[in-house]
Chains A and B, each alone.
Chain A
């Protein structure tokens, strides 16, 4: 059984610690109350067999489109959902998230930043209240003076200056970027070791996204935080995180160092994702528009009746009969990279493998040919 942490250990250069938070074979089903005609209970198969490991001072990106299950994974890690199966390990120990008092302790170490800055702050409370609550709950401040002092310092750390002005503002008086900074400060107030960021910049204006991402990177370095960055934008994943994991329809399909995964994607879905993403650097003065035709069409499947086996097989140009029978195990590709794809392993299709990996490579070459130098 491949240890997910092992892959990351090789990828990271300067961290010799083990992972601080690990998810092992997480699975989550959301039962639907209606019964279908056959009497079987229906459920949304949101996440199937997700494993990841977060290390201190290290950012990991989880990339996927809507319905890929990435938000569900984050919420399971944050203790908001109970996984249907699978375990979470915090500092090597299994985390008993069903136990209320354990959960309270766990929250001191693992925090979550949400996507929508316009609704993650309570409109009736000012900034002081939002930041004071975690300080009080976790005992970081015992009286009003300490509280004020710490709040001011938090606001300064997220670059909301002058802090004295911001402390009494209400959310509707702040811009989207400022609200998101307050949300980050609120998560930091707890003094966590792990920060899960669920699409933290997707709803912000384009020109301020990088500011917030750079802030998170700075905090990661200063506090040695283990960051999980969830996004649908693979370009920002490359910018932000050392490692990238790709999810499709609730299944993890590929992972490894960001640059590697993006420059040389192995899994057909990753290749599709990268070819679909707009990249102005691909343009040259003479390139035609829309020239990157997609090799596949189709949309993300419904998770109530997902395709059997590998959920990408209906859309995959390299689908083989075995792909609809079972979900492939993890194949280590060396250098910290891994994938779940029969094209690359699992013994059943070794003869096909070499053909298809050549095909994969040629698709890659075709892409690089469309890249024109500036």
Chain B
């Protein structure tokens, strides 16, 4: 993964998040839900965000779409969006700028802003006004939530909800073309068009989730953010939905940020995976790298928490302890109280996210074990395996 954007890779990068910080201001103090998160999303890529409770992954999803409400606030960082620069007739940068600066309340937007957009060919989402964000959302950025029943209006038919979206964002579309588009979308996600007239409660769980995806794709967005979209679904339906997403991605070319706690799912689905713990990214790697050699002890532990279906049966232990309460994050590396390979420095110093010396630069890990200053020989995957197996033995002996 390239970490600095140069001119010729700019066309490849779609979204660049740098040092994002999200805090919740509670009466008892500030809770840092997301700390110093940086990642890059490329066109047509599926990025997986894995983490457990308290990892900050859902907060991150809301932050990127700027849907956070007080007491949550973004306290630092940038979210830069690079709209498609090429002429493909749909949305080139000029059209985007025009759309963002012309619709309604743009009288106060200074020329400087437009110029800076033109210079850098990018838009900083945190600098947009609410009106501009409303424009951007759904057109370029769509989000699919966990529970479709919560996202769908129970008193409107699903067809009416798609048409509603189209009417809001494409005011020049006629009623007929809206209807046509709605039918298209349903066919796209594999629902019979006659279900357009159904109410959400009349559809099954899997169909509702597909309907949500159809609504999300209504305006052909560039980025689709999915927050645990299949967690509430059965495993068979889940498999179907995932297959759909991959097929649609290949057909329409959007990128996906897929957020889930199910790491085994991400290993089948995502191109790159970022693992979050206590609000920070602790490892970022391609699917293959993460599967073959997870570096961070938490990543290994997490991978090792899924009993396998076809491998040999053995005693597994998961990870001791439990995810930290964000109001009381341990100092230094937040994972140190649970880490089977903890060393002294982990209690005090926060490890930076960087690539392992001499290895594939694409894999970034935040762990002191890979820093020669603190640890002479970095552990191999077999070392990690050994430590976790020893844990399993211990817990068995208890």
Contact = CB atoms under 8 A, between A and B. Distances in A.
- Complex A–B touching at CB under 8 A: yes
A209 interface: yes
B318 interface: yes
A65 B234 contact: yes
B161 interface: no
Given A175-B322, A299-B237, A206 B268 contact: no
A206 B54 CA distance: 13
Nearest to A287: B268
B238 interface: yes
A4 interface: no
Contacts of B311: 281
A289 interface: yes
Contacts of A360: none
A208 to B, nearest CB: 5
B265 A278 contact: yes
Given A177-B322, A239-B307, 11 more contacts: A65-B234, A65-B235, A66-B234, A176-B322, A211-B317, A211-B395, A235-B309, A279-B308, A281-B311, A282-B268, A290-B269
B287 to A, nearest CB: 8
A280 B237 contact: no
In this complex, the member of A66, A159, A235 whose beta carbon has the largest number of chain B beta carbons within 10 angstroms is A235
A263 B312 CA distance: 11
A347 B396 CA distance: 47
A214 B317 contact: yes
B398 A262 contact: no
A259 B311 CA distance: 10
A292 B310 CA distance: 15
B302 interface: yes
B291 interface: yes
8 contacts: A65-B234, A65-B235, A207-B305, A236-B307, A278-B235, A279-B309, A281-B310, A282-B310
Given A206-B52, A299-B237, A280 B303 contact: yes
Contacts of B240: 294, 297
B374 interface: no
B264 A294 contact: no
Contact of A276 (B52, B235, B301, B395): B235
B327 interface: no
B300 to A, nearest CB: 11
Contacts of A259: 313
B301 A207 contact: yes
Interface string B202-214: 0011110000000
Contacts, number: 140
Interface in B179-224: 204-207
Interface string A291-321: 0111001011000000000000000000000
A141 to B, nearest CB: 25
A218 interface: yes
Interface in A227-247: 232-236, 238-239
A294 B239 contact: yes
Given A218-B398, A272-B236, A289-B269, A235 B307 contact: yes
B243 interface: yes
A24 interface: no
A299 B206 contact: yes
Interface in A248-277: 259, 262-263, 272-277
A29 interface: no
A177 to B, nearest CB: 5
A20 interface: no
A307 B357 CA distance: 61
Nearest to B277: A207
A210 B187 CA distance: 41
Given A274-B309, A277-B235, A283-B268, A289 B246 contact: yes
Contact of A207 (B267, B302, B309): B302
Contacts of A263: 310
A371 interface: yes
A159 B263 CA distance: 27
A290 B238 contact: no
A218 B268 CA distance: 33
Nearest to B244: A290
A247 to B, nearest CB: 13
A139 interface: no
Nearest to B269: A289
A77 B236 CA distance: 28
A206 B310 contact: no
Contacts of A262: 309-310
Contacts of A274: 309
A277 B237 CA distance: 10
Given A207-B319, A280-B267, A290-B268, A371 B310 contact: yes
Interface residues of A, number: 49
Nearest to A374: B292
B322 A234 contact: no
Pairs of residues from A and B, 9 with the lowest C-beta to C-beta distance, nearest first: A210-B318, A239-B307, A65-B234, A207-B319, A276-B239, A205-B52, A278-B264, A276-B236, A279-B309
B53 A205 contact: yes
A274 B265 CA distance: 14
Interface in B296-351: 301-303, 305-311, 313, 315-320, 322-323, 325
A239 B304 CA distance: 13
In this complex, the member of A209, A232, A239 whose beta carbon has the largest number of chain B beta carbons within 10 angstroms is A239
A162 interface: no
B228 interface: no
A278 B261 contact: no
B267 A283 contact: yes
Nearest to B396: A214
Contacts of A276: 235-236, 238-239
Contact of B306 (A177, A235, A292, A297): A235
Contacts of B234: 65-66, 232, 299-300
A260 to B, nearest CB: 12
A272 B291 CA distance: 25
B288 A285 contact: yes
Given A239-B316, A283-B291, A278 B262 contact: yes
Contacts of B267: 278, 280, 283
A196 B305 CA distance: 23
Contact of B261 (A205, A292, A300): A205
Contacts of B302: 206-207
A169 B395 CA distance: 25
A99 B268 CA distance: 52
A289 B263 CA distance: 14
A206 B313 contact: no
A210 B398 contact: no
In this complex, the member of B242, B262, B306 whose beta carbon has the largest number of chain A beta carbons within 10 angstroms is B306
Contact of B243 (A176, A207, A290): A290
Given A277-B309, A290-B268, A207 B318 contact: yes
Nearest to B307: A239
A289 B268 contact: yes
A207 B320 CA distance: 8
